[in-house]
Amino acid sequence: EAQVTQNPRYLITVTGKKLTVTCSQNMNHEYMSWYRQDPGLGLRQIYYSMNVEVTDKGDVPEGYKVSRKEKRNFPLILESPSPNQTSLYFCASSFTLAGGEYFGPGTRLTVL
Amino acid sequence: ILNVEQSPQSLHVQEGDSTNFTCSFPSSNFYALHWYRWETAKSPEALFVMTLNGDEKKKGRISATLNTKEGYSYLYIKGSQPEDSATYLCAFSYSGGGADGLTFGKGTHLIIQP
């Protein structure tokens, strides 16, 4: 089954404790991206990747890192999480930007 | 940061009625315009991706049009059903020497009343 998976689905952590949210897709997509969704602000792109070893900042990259060492995986790293990073995070992938993105199930992160 | 505007913010429509809503985006350096459907407690699902001025796409009772010169797209739903209740998002990408990231609008929240 074609899918984008994210782990964990839910996470409660404390300020400053490094964490990684994994994202994996099984569709051989080249394009992958991370979004955060906050009430009243909609979906905002954090980082995206056009292919392996190619990553670019989206609209809200501060406080986040990503890597794309393999085509299927695109982890999101929060080196020192802060409460303003409490949000719902979505990973997504597509063949190209001219194709619709497949979204993962979301990760709800709470930073205390 | 690019500005993608959707209107209205929310919409109540009677079952069986047809409706439409708008997405406005910058008209320069256009690359693609996406529409997504997002049901509560689920993930967004792609409806359409349009790349050419004048494009029209259709999927069942839902269709979309694109005007890249003036920077707008319409999404139409014919004969609304309760299962059409969702938030409809549009997203824009521009070409800056190659396709760039996606910027989403805040969505139109559609409620179909039986």
User: Rg of chain B over CA atoms, in angstroms?
Assistant: 14
What does the block give as tokens for A19?
């964490």
- Do B23 and B40 form a contact (C-beta atoms < 8 A)? no
**How many CA atoms does the CB half-sphere of B46 hold within 13 Å?**
18
Q: In chain B, helix, strand, coil percent, each to 5?
A: 5, 55, 40
Nearest to A48 among B32, B48, B101 (CB): B101
pLDDT score for A62 = 96
For B52, counting Cβ atoms within 10 Å of its Cβ (0-12 exposed, 13-18 middle, 19+ buried), the class is: exposed
What does the block give as tokens for B85?
């209740």
Nearest to B43 among A44, A99, A104 (CB): A104
Residue B104: name the closest of A59, A23, A64 by CA. Answer: A59
Which residues sit opposite A31 in a β-bridge?
A94
- Is B45 in the A-facing interface, judged by CB distances under 8 Å? yes
- Do A9 and A2 form a contact (C-beta atoms < 8 A)? no
pLDDT in tens, A42-56: 899 999 999 999 999
Nearest CA of chain A to the CA of B35: how many Å? 8
Task: For chain A, give the mean pLDDT.
Answer: 95
- pLDDT tens string, chain B, 114 residues long: the values are 678 999 999 999 999 999 999 999 998 888 899 999 999 999 999 999 999 999 999 999 999 999 999 999 999 999 999 999 999 999 998 876 545 678 999 999 999 998
Q: Which long-range contacts (CB under 8 A, 24 or more apart) does A66-71 make?
A: A66/A34, A68/A32, A71/A28, A71/A29, A71/A30
Which residues in chain B are contacts of A40 at CB distance < 8 A? Answer: 106
Which residues touch B105 (CB under 8 Å, ≥6 apart)? Answer: A42, B4, B5, B6, B23, B89, B90, B91, B92
List the single residue in A with minimal CA-CA distance to B88. A42
Does A103 contact B99 at a Cβ distance shorter than 8 Å?
A: no
pLDDT score for A42 = 87
Which residues in chain B are contacts of A43 at CB distance < 8 A? Answer: 44, 89, 91, 104
What does the block give as tokens for B59?
């999927």
pLDDT score for B100 = 66
pLDDT score for B93 = 86
**How many CA atoms does the CB half-sphere of A22 hold within 13 Å?**
9
- Do A82 and A95 form a contact (C-beta atoms < 8 A)? no
